[in-house]
Structure 1
Amino acid sequence: MKRSLVISAVTAIAVTVLGSAAAVGSPAAGRTYYVAPAGSDSAAGTPAAPWASIAHAQSVVQPGDTVYFRGGTYGYSHANSGCKSQTDRVDAITLSRSGSSGNLITYAAYPGERPVFDFSKVKDNCRIKGFDVTGNWIHLKGLEVQGVPQNNNLNHESWGIWISGSDNVFELINAHNNMGPGLFIQDGGDNLVLNCDSHDNYDPHTSNGAGQSADGFGAHISANHPGNVFRGDRAWWNSDDGFDLINAFSSVTIENSWTWRNGYLPESTTPAPAGNGNGFKAGGYGGVYVSNGAKHTVRDSVAFDNKVSGFYANHHTIANDYFNNTAYGNHPDFNMLGINSSGKAVGLGNLRNNIAYTGTLLSNMSGTNASYNSWNLGVSLSDSQFRSVSTSGWDGPRQADGSLPVLPNLRLAANSSLIDKGANVGLPYNGKAPDLGAFEF
């Protein structure tokens, strides 16, 4: 299958970009400890005598160590420091101890079990981070993060996981029902967000309007922090956007990811009062031109049934790369609204091998570098081009290795005229040419 070759190439890219942090499946040899909801921090940290808290585990671990969390709920009622003001930021959990290259500190779900970090009872009256990851070379795997609250309406949002360190891996995280973004990269470089889900996040008390700031995933990083990658991730039913790269001054890559039904109240078709509702918001700097903007890449990804755009340039200042993506039923599917140095709205984007089908197809395309896409090849689109156009099942169970489920949805049918109609953009393919869309036949 062609897609297996593409995934192999992407994995190779990740190893180059992320160095040792990309070896997510093979933690270096070190000590192994255990934590359980009914444990005790005065215990030995063994399977028979587990600790009770991640804070105590961090006080002990060294680079290369692994901490397993047994299934159950780890509840929090307060942050680890007090609010200095109602607009202050506080952490329930701070992970500041760093691993090292090739010796990550790993905090992981015990195999086959479900540890849930529940922050819904945190009462601190300011902005709250469930996890604040300030350290480097840390690996979080298989943890569920839920319920981070907003306790006043003076702030924009709280966060499930906030990241400012570098060379970290976040794998199989399930962040949901937080009053702000599920996972947010504030700063740092070479972080990998792998096979994670972020959904049903809604910020009812945000100061700039209910729903305005609860994205699935965000990366708003400063300059000189390249290499942040979102891979194999899903974002759905978030009140704002699925993926949001606004104010990112270093390049970000989003690949092999899906996003749908953003901009609505969770589990409904009721628009969030102030939520935007884009699938992939790939940049922008608040609607103004900046001279040091960063170029982002979105590839091999799917956006459908979002309240507004599937793929959105958001007044970006540089032409991003949008390669091999599928947009279905968005409004519009691709909106390449950019801005030039004179502050004028222009179309910006390099688009190859993309599919736009149903909904409103395109907006702000004048000025873009677009070719070999479904809309400029003279190809007539219909449901018969695909094995299925179902919008159900996308949130189904992942495969055993954590990768996205294999669905017939929006995959090309055997007789599709979109097969071998693309252009070579540097990714491996079989046949005469790449296929169009996120899934090679």
Structure 2
Amino acid sequence: MRLSRVVKPVVLVSTVVAGLTALVVGPAAVGSAAAGRVYYVSPTGIDSAAGTQAAPWATIAHAQSVVQAGDTVYFRGGAYNYTHSASSCRSQTDRVDAITLNKGGSAGNPIRYMAYPGERPIFDFSRVRDNCRIKGFDVTGSWIHLKGLEVTGAPQNNNLNHESWGIWVSGSNNTFEQLDLHHNMGPGLFLQDGGGNLVLDSDSHDNYDPHTSNGAGESADGFGAHISANHPGNVFRGCRAWWNSDDGFDLINAFSPVTIENSWAWLNGYLPGTTTASGNGNGFKAGGYGGKYVSNGVKHTVRSSVAFNNRSSGFYANHHTVADDFFNNTAYSNHPDFNMLGISSSGAAIGLGKLRNNIAYGGTLLSNMTGTNAANNSWDLGVTLPNAGFQSVSTSGWDAPRQSDGGLPVLPHLHLAPNSALIDKGVDVGLPYSGAAPDLGAFESPGRVAGGSSRHSG
């Protein structure tokens, strides 16, 4: 299902750059973009150049020194290689960054760093040799929009730390769109702080941390969000996480609510490209505070998402202290599919979670369900689920190229068959649906739309 996508049309923007009037063809930016200037960066550019399409700059650092709110910087295709961070390590456990984005835009006028249409800029940090924790991008500013960039190779160069990061975020109201994050020695993208950030239509895969201090493979998640209190509004939408050595999505130690929707996680918990066990291996780890009860835990939401073939749980409460919402998810062949292990104020293990309209099929279905608020899920119906109840149960092809607008590929896998016993067996949880009632699982069958709204099956 596709939720609340905004299709951004192609427009012509007349802009003045370095004294020259240029007609720029590109995607319309969010908000009032027409007032902003447009600049260009290329692997073959020179920072002393004009920053025009004909005379591009060489680095994002120089671009940031020039741009203002509402401006757009297009990156031409090719490799942007980094060999050192912007500052020196003060110790082997220090944190340094190769790229610092600390200049923010404003509401309706973000600063945009985008791939030139049809091209693929690659930010490669694999040659950075600083002997401490490395952030590829350190986004401390707010109202920044990164789109269409590939980020790879953020390294760990000693074994005294847990992980490094492809992109580390502590600013607010940023958008991270159509990013390809891979082969980093830690999470591809990590929300450390800030509120109102949107991670949209992005992939994080093949991340592995061989030198982490708590054991090889134990900290390289696809996406992480460990937000402090009073920073609501962080959302992962339309994202994919696969073959990360630890978890696909990890919300441990998040003290502000996070929403994950319309996202897929598979084959996490293995050495990338193999079935050799590595880290934790959960698809969606929806919270927890290190196995301890805290009085200020928050509710997270995971909805319309798919987890399959993860080494451990598909959807996992991870000793969370409040009941998360798990709505319209599909779990297939995980171990278990849904594990609602929570923790009480006395420190006792309990089942904790609100579950509606979910499907558990294959693998081990359930764990720690006693005490949960569960209804209208596949296991509540008393029916046997055959493979024929789905259009396909294939686990191949989920990493297919995205649609032209960045949306998830259209696949039949784990969509309900027309005669499935799970059609119209759900309950209204506030998501659009077709037919008399919501279907179970992540993909709504097409048909008459209730209430005049639409729910896509992408």
TM-score normalized with structure 2 length: 0.91
Runs of at least 4 residues off by over 3 Å: 23-27
Q: 1:40 to 1:160 in 2, by over 3 A?
A: same
Tell me which of 276, 280, 285 is aligned to 1:276: 280
What is the aligned residue count? 424
Give the match's secondary structure for 2:210: coil
Q: In the alignment, does 2:328 pair up with 1:324?
A: yes
Structure 1 pair 189–63 and aligned structure 2 pair: CA distance change class (3 A): same
Deviates more, 1:428-437 or 1:152-161: 428-437
Deviations 1:345-365 (A, max 9, x none): 000000000000000000000
Q: Which secondary structure state, in structure 1, belongs to the residue aligned with residue 62 of structure 2?
A: helix
Counterparts in 2 of 1:329 and 1:24: CA distance versus 1, 3 Å: farther
| 1:378 CA drift (Å) | 1.1
1:373-388 equivalences in 2 (<5 Å): 373-388=377-392
Structure 1: which 5+ runs fail to align? 13-22
Q: Does 1:436 align with 2:429?
A: no
Secondary structure, counterpart of 1:370 in structure 2: strand
Matching residue within 107, 110, 115 for 1:101? 107
Distance in 2 of aligned mates of 1:397 and 1:78 = 32
Q: Which residue pairs with 1:224 in the alignment?
A: 230
- Cα offset, 1:25, TM superposition: 4.6
Residues 352 and 423, structure 1, Cα contact 8 Å, conserved in 2: yes
The amino acid that maps onto 1:317 is T
User: Which of 302, 316, 319 is the aligned partner of 1:298?
Assistant: 302
**Match in the other structure for 1:421:** 425
Q: 1:285 aligns with which of 283, 289, 302?
A: 289
The one-letter code matched in structure 2 to 1:155 is N
Amino acid at match of 1:297: T
Query: TM-score, normalised on structure 1?
Result: 0.95
Residue number in structure 1 paired with 2:188: 182
Calculate percent identity across the aligned residue pairs: 78
Question: Quick one: distance in 2 between partners of 1:426 and 1:170?
Answer: 26
Question: How far apart are the structure 2 equivalents of 1:207 and 1:60?
Answer: 40
Distance 1:394 1:24, change over 3 A: farther
Q: Deviations over 1:330-355 (max 9, x none)?
A: 00000000001000000000000000
- Contact 1:27–1:104 at 8 Å: present in 2 too? no
**Distance of 2:81 and 2:146 partners within structure 1:** 18
Gap change, CA 1:276 and 1:27, over 3 Å in 2: farther
Instruction: Determine the structure 1 residue equivalent to 2:17.
Output: none
Aligned partners of 2:363, 2:288: CA distance in 1, in Å?
Answer: 24
Q: Greater relative contact order (Cα 8 A, min sep 6): structure 1 or 2?
A: 1
Q: How far apart are residue 429 of structure 1 and its match? A: 1.4
Q: Separation in 1 of the partners of 2:236 and 2:51? A: 33
Q: Secondary structure at the match of 1:59?
A: helix
Q: Which amino acid aligns with 2:355?
A: L
Q: Deviations over 1:358-392 (max 9, x none)?
A: 00000000000001000011121010000000000
Quote how far apart the aligned CAs of 1:427 are. Answer: 1.4
Q: Do residues 371 (structure 1) and 379 (structure 2) align?
A: no
Please report how far the alpha carbon of residue 408 of structure 1 lies from its aligned counterpart in structure 2 after TM superposition.
0.4
Match of residue 19 from structure 1: none
Question: Equivalent residues in 2 for 1:14-93 (5 A)?
Answer: 25=30, 28-29=33-34, 30-93=36-99
Aligned partners of 1:310 and 1:334 also within 8 Å: yes
Paired residue secondary structure (2:136): strand
Cα root mean square deviation, aligned: 1.2
The reply on whether 1:355 has 2:374 as its aligned counterpart is no
Find the aligned partners of 2:246 and 2:188 in 1 and give their Cα distance: 11
Distance 2:210 2:198 in 1: 29
CA positional deviation for 1:89: 0.1
Relative to structure 1, the CA distance from residue 412 to residue 229 in structure 2 (aligned partners, 3 Å threshold; closer, same or farther) is: same
Contact 2:227 2:253 in 1 (8 A): yes
